[in-house]
Amino acid sequence: MRSYYAANWASFTFNGLLSWIQQYQEEPQPKEVQDWSSLLDEGEELVYLSNPDSASISNLQVFCFTSEEDEEEAQSSDLPNPTEEKAVNEDTDVKPSADSNEEATTEKQETVGGAEEEQLQVTPTEGEEQDTDKPHLSTAQSQLEPTRKRITYAHLVKEGRRFNIDLVSKLMYSRGSLVDLLIKSNVSRYAEFKNVTRILTYRNGNVEQVPCSRADVFASRQLSVVEKRKLMRFLTSCMEETEEHQAYSGRPYLEFLCDQKLGDNLQHFLLHSIAMVTEDTPIEEGLAATRHFLRSLGRYGNTPFLFPLYGLGEIPQCFCRMCAVFGGIYCLRHSVDCLVVDKDTNRCKAVIDNRGQRISCSHFVVEDSYVGKKAAAPRRLLSRAVLITDGSVLPSDSDQQVSMVTIPPVAARYPVVKMVELCPSTMTCIPGTYLVHLTCQSAGSAYEDLAPVVTRCFHTPDSPDQENRPSVLWCVYFNMVDGSGVELEGHGLPSNVYVCSGLDSTLGHEYAIRQAELIFQKILPEEDFCPPAPNPEDIIYDGENPSTPAGEEDEDGAGEEGKREQSQTQE
């Protein structure tokens, strides 16, 4: 039972994340199967849904590398870092903050659909009464402090509400389908975005900037002028399909790049940072990825990517909000226990929630983990790590850089890692810190996959020699299901039940948007998907009670798209 939106697409405050972690670290309680057959009418049968939560997240590991409480300044700067690895189920720290977070989320929920502005304010509310000293003062101090003051765990918890930590790490291609959809539907009015300011890559033990725009290439100091020319030439020429490309059909993109005699530098940039593909990706896919990257370049800035302020969790919320304007209803802390299926028509007539309430519906959209046959096929997993660090992996003149870092396999059999480093001005972390997301396809557990990258790029107790690199203050590793491989058909479900997958491993949102549109078209083949919404002030309510029982309930499994469709069906 969730108290937040959007399942694994959700975004948490630091404290919220801690309670989320706690929830997963507790022994999953066996679900009591309740018999709701008394609620059935003639000709109906029950189809039970499974509990997805325990399955989608695994291998959760938390480390805290910063000192717990404020210490004497001198002590913390002289001594090597206190390396207490702290399993987070130390109740003393977690409990109170988790409580206050819950209040916060409820508060959020209430404001949905109404006043937008207040919703994501980061200023502390009455809920955080235990803060005796002013949190603002302490942040101001840490900003002014020229010496690197270690931020303590207590400080992270105290300022926890100012973090917005996503479970998923993605970026928006400036000409990707999500941006197009946000613009088309006017949902964009509910969010603000920041440009990713630079593309970095980890290479030969260093983090380097990848020149990708014309201005970057011009300004780059690590490329020779000849390399600059070759790179520009390649980027211009690959926009169009040539005979040369066709000649390589079916062969790896890398082979094509090699034959272009671009040199190691450029080959690395083009393969890992621009196309972001692996060494065995075929040329068609590599070129398509390169073109997608290049097309998005320059629309809003010097990189192809946007990131929403307050985190990616905003995006589902924005769609929810738009939906709520048109009467969509959300029920948090409810789960659907089972479907009520009409035996004759094989259609889902209603759902029954965990409290035994029967809610009739005409369509039902659900994430595959609720209906999937468990362990039918070994599911693909993503490895994720979220780090709070005290500096950027590549310090520059500006401390407000949003960086996308591509990390090729650090050694054989290791996966390609994508790292996104967010600065405080993205409103995802507090001043003096950076929020770092690492993502890769799992080869082993998240820790096994990602710890080698973390120790190379950051200063941790496991990499004590990396003192010039930023320190990790706190981090969490976990695996989550990669939804891209999920079979969406053939669950033998009623014809008006639509299954969507969870999040996928790609950097963009193309997969999710395409799926949402497909499901929408199945439900409403005649309707335009996410048509431009009128301005709120232009909407005239015709006196109809907006709280007429919703036709269906969505246990937020389908993310934003499911809700969107709900609103459509009601109109």
Partner 1 sequence: MSLQETHASQSMFLLDTHCQRKEGILDEEALQVTQQLLSSNPDFATLWNYRREILMHLETVKEKDEVQKIYEAELAFLESCLKLNPKSYGSWHHRCWVSARLPRPDWSRELSLCDRCLSLDDRNFHCWDYRRMVVKVSGVPVAQELGFTDRLIGSNFSNYSSWHYRSTLLPLLHPESPESPSPSHEPPQPSPSHSPQTQSHRVCEEQLLKEYELVQNAFFTDPNDQSAWFYYRWLLGRAEREEMISCVYVSRDEERVAVAFSRPVNAQSVSLLLVLDGQPQKVEWKSVHPRFKHSPVCICDLPPGTISDITNEHNLTVHWTEKYTHRDCALYTGRTESWCRDSATDQELFRSELSVEKTSVLQSELQSCNQLLELEPLNKWCLLTIVLLMRALDPLGYEKETLAHFQTLKEVDPMRSAYYSDLCSKFIIENTVLKMEYAEVRVFSITDKNLTTLCHLDQLLLVTHINLSSNQLQQLPPQFAMLQCLEVLEVDNNRIENLEGVYHLPKLEEVLLKNNKISALADLQPLASCPKLRRLDLRGNPVTQAANIESELTALLPSVTDLLL
Token code pair at residue 423: 């600065």
**Which residue from 33, 115, 144, 226 is in contact with partner 1, where contact means CB under 8 A?**
226
Least separation in angstroms between residue 230's CB and partner 1 is 7
261: phi > 0 → left, psi -120 to 50 → alpha, else beta; which? left
Least separation in angstroms between residue 233's CB and partner 1 is 7
Binding to partner 1 in span 339-378, by CB under 8 A? none
Residue placing its CB nearer to partner 1 in the complex, 216 or 390: 216
Contact track, partner 1, 186-225, x by CB under 8 A:
----------------------------xx-xxx-----x
Residue placing its CB nearer to partner 1 in the complex, 83 or 236: 236
Binding to partner 1 in span 104-123, by CB under 8 A? none
Region binding partner 1 by CB under 8 A among candidate stretches 28-36, 93-101, 228-236, 561-569 = 228-236
Least separation in angstroms between residue 96's CB and partner 1 is 46
Number of neighbours of residue 48 by Cβ within 10 angstroms: 15
Binding to partner 1 in span 230-269, by CB under 8 A? 230, 232-233
Least separation in angstroms between residue 210's CB and partner 1 is 15
Least separation in angstroms between residue 283's CB and partner 1 is 23
What residues are paired with 194 via a beta bridge?
307
Least separation in angstroms between residue 370's CB and partner 1 is 50
Token code pair at residue 287: 């070129």
> 471, 458 in Cβ contact below 8 A?
yes
**Residue count (the chain):** 571
C-alpha 461/C-alpha 63 separation (Å) is 11
Nearest to 444 by CA among 431, 435, 453, 433: 453
Q: How far is CA 227 from the centre of its chain?
A: 35
**Which residue from 73, 85, 118, 229 is in contact with partner 1, where contact means CB under 8 A?**
229
Contact track, partner 1, 18-57, x by CB under 8 A:
----------------------------------------
Residue placing its CB nearer to partner 1 in the complex, 3 or 213: 213
* Pairing state between β 347-353 and 336-342: antiparallel
> 182, 530 in Cβ contact below 8 A?
no
Helical axes 314-325 vs 177-185, angle rounded to 10°? 30
Number of neighbours of residue 147 by Cβ within 10 angstroms: 7
Task: Check binding of 228 to partner 1 (CB under 8 A).
Answer: yes
C-alpha 310/C-alpha 289 separation (Å) is 27
Residue placing its CB nearer to partner 1 in the complex, 230 or 418: 230
Residue placing its CB nearer to partner 1 in the complex, 231 or 512: 231
Least separation in angstroms between residue 100's CB and partner 1 is 42
C-alpha 299/C-alpha 176 separation (Å) is 11
434: helix, strand or coil: strand
Least separation in angstroms between residue 399's CB and partner 1 is 18
In the DSSP assignment, the letter for residue 217 is H
Residues that bind partner 1 (CB under 8 A): 214-215, 217-219, 225-226, 228-230, 232-233
